[in-house]
Amino acid sequence: MLLGEIFERFVEQSPTTVMVRGVLEKVLAPEKLDELFERTAKVQYTRELLFSAVVNLMSLVVCGIRPSVNAAYKAQAQEIGVSRTALYDKLNGTEPEVSAELVRHTAFELEPVVEQLGGQLPNLLPGYRVKILDGNSLRTTEHRLEVLRSIRGGALPGKSLVVLDPALMLAINVFPCEDGYAGERALLDQVLTWVSSNDVWIADRNMCTRGFLFGIANRQAYFVIRQHQGMSWEALEELHSVGKVETGEVFEQRVRLHHEAQELVVRRVLVRLVKPTRDGEREIAVFSNLPLQVADGKQVARLYRERWSVETLFQVVSETFECEIKTLGYPKAALFSFCMALVAYNILSVVKAALRSVHGVGKIEAGLSDYYLAEEIQATYRGMMIAIPPTEWIVFSQMTLTEFSSILQHLATQINLKVFCSAPRGPKKPPPERIHDQRQCHVSTARLLAQAKSFKPHQ
């Protein structure tokens, strides 16, 4: 084995953690990160604290290996070599474009790894690159900043639009915004600069603007975007049924959209749902400019359903990783933390791609728990880095793509999938009505259990 005997114990006990550290070494090599910073930063500059050192420290916090930025600093103070204040100044000044470029860098580095592994999910539309776009608002932070101390309202540190490639299951782009009040639509012009021909963009109704739809079409790309109620359109034919999908009956019609001096004929696909949405809606309408021979109405409806993939991404970065650190009140620092969580998500996605390539797509997608994977990494990582110093991991950054993929697959064969299987619970039962007695503020659990036991009939 290329890694040598020093790794064998950890390969045997926690191959997942070895895989994660190996991927980190491959894609977050210090020289690459520092070059990225020098190339992208417009205001910040490097004096003593390198950007790569900040990324390394924040990766420990975001992955839950260290409980806070302060704890991570204390553990690495000697290696970092600057004061705590200098570290926070660097975090608080990290430009959003640098954070976004970090996410793009990891996706660019990891895409060929996933493809070499053969760990992609089936393409939703062969011959096209599907991209799912959705927005995320960061949760409120603590009122630590002086400007917030006299304010009762929640402090919003920013928001972003995230682009997911559902075949690679990588966050390939992000568009961060420091203004927590800004609308998601204000970021769509930035998204358009990244639209390529033959893209298929899937998005919710918040992204349904004339400028965005026409911008995608003008770049020889395609969209499957839910209709916003405020979007006017001109019917060119009556709705007609095209069949049924899992969620309901599908109807379709051709409509015309107008924007400035342009007009665009698209398809309006309507799904009459068997079960209403959480908001009580019985119908969902979607605009698409995909040709009929590429995707019929039922295929368009199924494509839109895949938007849940990006919701799963947000759930993972929120519940599995620390994407929202309440103590980071400055918008730039909060957005950097969120982007670091997207990087962690991408690294975990490569681990799962290796598992898919070895164990099959069905087993991994059916019930592998991101939570249990992350918990294993958190429990083992610190001890592993003590036993195997950072210099020993350089071997990963020096591997060719073929060697690196082979190592990941070898490690994937050592993983016991049963340890990481999710445990789905049954349907929730409605809670019983509670008895309120003002004379009895407290109860003895032991007495109630004994009383319940005495009333049980003998078997």
SS (H, E, C) 64-115: CCCCCHHHHHHHHHHHHCCCHHHHHHHHHCCCHHHHHHHHHHHHHHHHHHHH
Q: Are 372 and 57 in contact (CB under 8 A)?
A: no
Say if 267 falls within a structural domain.
yes
Residue pLDDT tens, the chain, 459 long: 445 566 777 888 889 999 999 999 999 989 999 999 999 999 988 888 999 999 999 988 888 888 889 999 998 888 888 999 999 999 999 999 999 999 999 999 999 999 999 999 999 999 999 999 999 988 888 888 878 888 888 888 889 999 999 999 999 999 999 998 888 899 999 999 999 999 999 999 999 999 999 999 999 999 999 999 989 999 999 999 999 999 999 999 999 999 999 999 999 999 999 988 888 889 999 999 999 999 999 999 999 999 888 888 888 877 777 767 777 888 999 999 999 999 999 999 999 999 999 988 887 877 788 888 888 888 888 888 888 888 888 889 889 999 999 999 999 998 888 888 876 666 777 778 877 777 777 888 998 888 888 876 655
Give the SS3 label for residue 459: coil
What angle separates helix 370-387 from helix 331-359, to the nearest 10 degrees?
A: 100
Say if 307 falls within a structural domain.
no
Say if 286 falls within a structural domain.
yes
Say if 447 falls within a structural domain.
no
- Distance (Å, whole) CA 423 – CA 366: 11
- Distance (Å, whole) CA 44 – CA 93: 7
Say if 218 falls within a structural domain.
yes
Q: Are 179 and 167 in contact (CB under 8 A)?
A: no
Say if 283 falls within a structural domain.
yes
H or E stretch including 192?
helix 188-192
- The reported pLDDT for the residue numbered 323 is 67
Say if 233 falls within a structural domain.
yes
- Distance (Å, whole) CA 233 – CA 263: 10
Parallel, antiparallel, or unpaired: how do β-strands 262-273 and 248-259 relate? antiparallel
Tally of structural domains, the chain = 1
Say if 379 falls within a structural domain.
no
H or E stretch including 211?
helix 210-218
H or E stretch including 419?
none
- CA–CA–CA angle 224, 229, 232 (5° rounding): 85
End-to-end Cα distance, the chain: 59
Parallel, antiparallel, or unpaired: how do β-strands 199-203 and 129-137 relate? parallel
Q: Domain range spanning residue 283?
A: 205-295
DSSP annotation of 155: B
